[in-house]
Structure 1
Amino acid sequence: MDKRRVVRRLLTAQGVNGFGDGLWFSIWAIYLTRIRDIPAANMGLAMGIGGVIGLLAAVPIGVMAERRGPREVLGTVIVLRGLIMIAYVFVGGFWSLLLVTSFFSAVQSSAVGVRVTLVYGLMEPDSRLRVLAQGRVVQHITYAAGAGIAILVLASDRQTVFVAAVLVDALALLLTGALTMLVPSVPPVPHDRQHSGTRALRDLPYVAIMGSTALLSLCWALLSSGLPLWIAEDTRAPLWTAGLAVVVSSAAIAVFQVRISRRSVRIAGAVRSSRISATALAVCCVVFAAAAWTRSPVIATTVIILGMGAHIVGELYYVSSRWGLSLGLMAKNAEGQYQGVTAGTEAAAVAMGPALVTSLVVGLSEVGWVILAALFLLSAVPVGALGRRAARDGFRVGHQEPEAPRDVGPAEVPAGPATP
């Protein structure tokens, strides 16, 4: 099959998935508390525990992708996620929510790594990061569309509308699974070349570098949890500034992610990108803290917008460095489980992010922002040494397949999933 057609189908599937995610993640808290009558404390506990339990599936499902084929496993996982989504219509308390969320989190977190494995198997070395970046662009666009529909759902405040939205998300996931099966199959790893199912977990340099850089994913909790609370309680900036930050961030990602990702094709470039990300996010934290030092709403808003500029740089370089490091440092014929480790470490940081960021920002005010800045900087400190240590191993993909960056202009970024 023509590579352009393959990319088009990959992006279409990811776009449909992004729409469903934007719809669900914009309504789930209100749906579970108001429509399903689950107390907020019970909901938070069930979602948190279920999320942690679900992380345990990432590596085993990654191993399955190696032995059954990433397309087949990804399609199955996404369809299962759609079926599990339907179960949210019937949850009625802590235990049922915990059960459903555990399964939902398991297939959600594992799908991230399997999708990267599929792109790795389908694309040539010089186009893998570009396709991953294009997928993120498409996903952000359709995620925003799903969030827009969610506004109408929230405004209705009717049970039937909320249930319909949940079923629409389930349908979107089932459609994503079907679209995924339309791309070519990547052959599973031959039996005589298969590694032990714990190969990636025993690769300590890889686990360490993925665990360290995963802390940079706290940038998402910073934007979704820390900044809105900070604006509301400690600054004179209007509340709509938090919404503006999300819009500006999404737009910047759509414009720049493909271009920035070119700088992380080689391992050395990915290491540099992680340092740039850590520095930019640390600067962002200090600037956000400074927004509380003025009594002028205009100045406070201006300071927050400046901080958002640093946040955008940090997020762009974090995502590209993560792709470059995970693809370049994994072992040949063990791609699925290595990407499972990558997805699992990031998902763990994302799971603890809201609680950590909120406790620091709300509990310690400016000092909390400084601690966050230090955490970002510290996360990048061992990356260089770990990357050099890991790169010396001859079994790694980056050692066997040196990848030269190709000049990719922004014109190659598709405007949406229907027209890549």
Structure 2
Amino acid sequence: MSSAGPAPVRQGLWHRLTASMSDPVLRALVTATAVSRIGRGVFLTVTVLFFTQILGLGAGEAAVVLAVSSAFGVVASLVGGWLADRWSARRIAFVCETLGGLLLASYALAGDFVSALVLASLSGFFDSVGHTARSAIIARGLAPERRVHARAVLRTVTNLSIALGSGIAAIALALGTAPAYRSVILLAGALCAIGALPLLRIPSSADAPKRSAAPLRTTTGSIDTVVQRERSDWRRRSPWRDPRYLLLTVLSAVFGMQFGVAELGVPLWITQETNAPTIIVSVLLILNTALVVLFQVRVSRGTHDIRVAGRVTMIAGWLMAAACFIYALAAGLPTWAAIAVLIAAMVAHTFAEILSQAGAWGLSFELADPVRAGAYQGVFGMGFSLGALASPMVVNATAISFGFAGWAMLAAIFLAAAAGILWIARRAAAAAAASGHTAA
């Protein structure tokens, strides 16, 4: 008879999520995310159609509104990081996300291009400041081995909530009337504002440590040398003086363009170059969401180790390159074959997304200076926002313009970015090991 103990019980998704709620920081973040992202899902679903069908904006005007809002988000990432290093990140996140929700609700009162542009810019700005403050909260309020897990849990909750919000938004899409659109937008804004309330329950340990507010003077009138050293050390720890982290930010932003492939490239490729029905776009989006919800937490285990984070990012690079080539193969195939190929491509694409996000989270936390956690997360978030801005142009200039050759260009871009991130991770791990041996 075997003396081995009972086999370990495999934990389901719901059990893994609820087990994380014992931590007060993560519990507050999960609660806030679950509520606010329902509102964001409503808004994302109806925004473009509200602009074009209700406000009467042209496609170009709607694109300008969204682009300017994204640009404000880039600036807001830096502002949020700067603020989170100087004041309470909890209160900054609460105030900014509340304001963002109220401004989002104000969309219901918009009547023309100018009002939509102003509201979108302000709402995007405050939402991005709040998001960066949340990243600083995770960096300071959770143990290093728990940070990536927390981001994975929050991303899973985000996807579930956005899916629920999209279902609520379908009411407005089905009715198609201005009152219906404005009503769901008011609901979306209210949910985003209400979702900020749990952030006030986050412990103060998530805030930045106190700094000297003003220079102290000795009896001779000279500035105290302790304060001088503190301020000099503060400037030295800036992410803008960290070439390794800046390179990581750039390469992560490049790889982050894979979201643009899913949001822009794939729908255009399907409708213009394949025989697949248009509805397959929705099927692929649902498949992507389901896989992220099922596997993001599980796949993210261990990526707080920078060596593991580098390896999974390289795997993501190979998967993304494969997805690009598989997408390209769908052109000209019979309908059934095109559908099968596109589904296979989306599976590879989604796992590339899951792995790359896990690797990026691990490296962005572990390679950052903990004293300037807010500034580091702000710079990393800024890079991601810039990648999101550039992705439509890059995808259009490659895959959509040149077909198979363009998809090959994209594959090479993603592989090169992943290889660069792997190189950074290996160098960082070697440096850490050498430092440990020296200290020993």
Q: TM-score, normalised by structure 2?
A: 0.84
**1:78-110: CA deviation from partner (whole Å, max 9, x where unpaired):** 011112213323333333333222222222333
1:69 alignment partner AA: S
**Correspondence for 1:326:** 364
1:240 aligns with 2:279: yes
1:91 alignment partner AA: A
Q: Larger relative CO (CA 8 A, sep 6+): 1 or 2?
A: 1
1:333 alignment partner AA: V
**Correspondence for 1:184:** 203
1:255 alignment partner AA: L
RMSD, aligned α-carbons = 2.1
1:168 aligns with 2:187: yes
Kindly report which structure 2 residues correspond to 1:10-409, keeping only aligned pairs within 5 A, or say none.
10-185=29-204, 186-192=206-212, 195-196=234-235, 199-294=238-333, 296-390=334-428
Pick closer, same or farther for the CA change 1:122–1:354 going to 2, 3 Å: same
- Partners of 1:157 and 1:293 lie apart in 2 by 35
1:190 alignment partner AA: K
**1:171-200: CA deviation from partner (whole Å, max 9, x where unpaired):** 111111112112222232221567239811
Rg comparison, structure with higher value: 2
**1:49-92: CA deviation from partner (whole Å, max 9, x where unpaired):** 33213311212221211211221111111011112213323333
Pick closer, same or farther for the CA change 1:126–1:381 going to 2, 3 Å: closer
- Partners of 1:90 and 1:201 lie apart in 2 by 41
How big is the shift at 1:7?
2.8
Higher mean Cα deviation, 381-390 or 122-131? Answer: 381-390
**Correspondence for 2:15:** none
**Correspondence for 1:413:** none
Q: Which runs of 5+ in 1 are unaligned?
A: 401-420
- Partners of 1:20 and 1:283 lie apart in 2 by 35
Mapped contact 2:140–2:373 kept (Cα < 8 A): no
Pick closer, same or farther for the CA change 1:92–1:202 going to 2, 3 Å: farther
- Partners of 1:203 and 1:196 lie apart in 2 by 11
SS at match of 2:45: helix
Q: Which runs of 5+ in 2 are unaligned?
A: 1-20, 213-229
- Partners of 2:256 and 2:107 lie apart in 1 by 27
Aligned residues: 394
**Correspondence for 2:8:** none
